[in-house]
Amino acid sequence: MRLPVTRAILTLITAAVLGIGVGALPALAAEDVYDERTVEIGRNLACPVCQGQTVADSHSRVALEMMDAIQAQVEAGRTDEQIYDYFRARYGDEVLLEPPREGINLALWWIPVVVVVLGLGVVVLYVKDSAALGRRAPQPADGPPTDQELERLAERVLSEHEQNQLRQGDAQVEST
């Protein structure tokens, strides 16, 4: 009765060791399988099923098929541009790691540059205006007041002060 349990445990241990051993084997790199030009073209194409990996770096089935297609086209004597056009026709511009600078892609290349230039312009104008405001003292629109205007202002302030004094005196008389 103990023999089947022991045999099952040994089988599981052996499978685990072999599984780890197979998993630890290094995968073949693209440089080991394909020629240099094929690998270079594969590094300029994004794998359509792997997030953020090139065709040359991915080990997915689609990427391996794409590398085989690149190798076949290189051997057939096609130019790099013809090979890129072939993949663009099948997968769209998204397959290229560096999309062509035409149409909407051209705008996407230039928008960050325009935003930075506009931002620098706003900063320069703000600093220039702030510096100019700091150097100017605020001036009345008509210039400094004349002696007659100052006398009238003083008389008005004094009369308002006297009226306030009288009101306060009346308020004290009423409260008593």
Show the tokens assigned to 152. 């009238």
pLDDT at 174 over 90: no
CA dihedral 57, 62, 68, 72 (to 10 degrees): -120
Is 93:105 a contact under the CB 8 Å cutoff? yes
Which of the two residues, 140 and 143, has the higher pLDDT score? 143
Of 60, 55, 119, 123, the C-alpha closest to 90 is 55
Domain range 26-95, CATH class:
mainly alpha
The Cα–Cα gap between 96 and 151 comes to 82
Rounded mean pLDDT of the chain?
79
pLDDT at 170 over 80: no
- Domain spans in the chain, listed from the N-terminal domain onward: 26-95, 101-132
Per-residue pLDDT of 119-141, as tens digits, reads 999 988 888 877 766 665 555 56
Per-residue pLDDT of 4-30, as tens digits, reads 656 666 666 665 555 554 444 444 455
The Cα–Cα gap between 62 and 55 comes to 8
Full DSSP string of 86-116: HHHHHH-GGGBSS--SSTHHHHHHHHHHHHH
Residues facing 96 on adjacent strands: 45
C-alpha gyration radius of the chain: 42
The Cα–Cα gap between 151 and 170 comes to 29
The Cα–Cα gap between 44 and 60 comes to 16
Of 99, 83, 100, the C-alpha closest to 34 is 83
Per-residue pLDDT of 151-162, as tens digits, reads 998 899 989 888
Task: For residue 88, count CB atoms less than 10 angstroms from its CB and return exposed for 0-12, middle for 13-18, buried for 19 or more.
Answer: middle
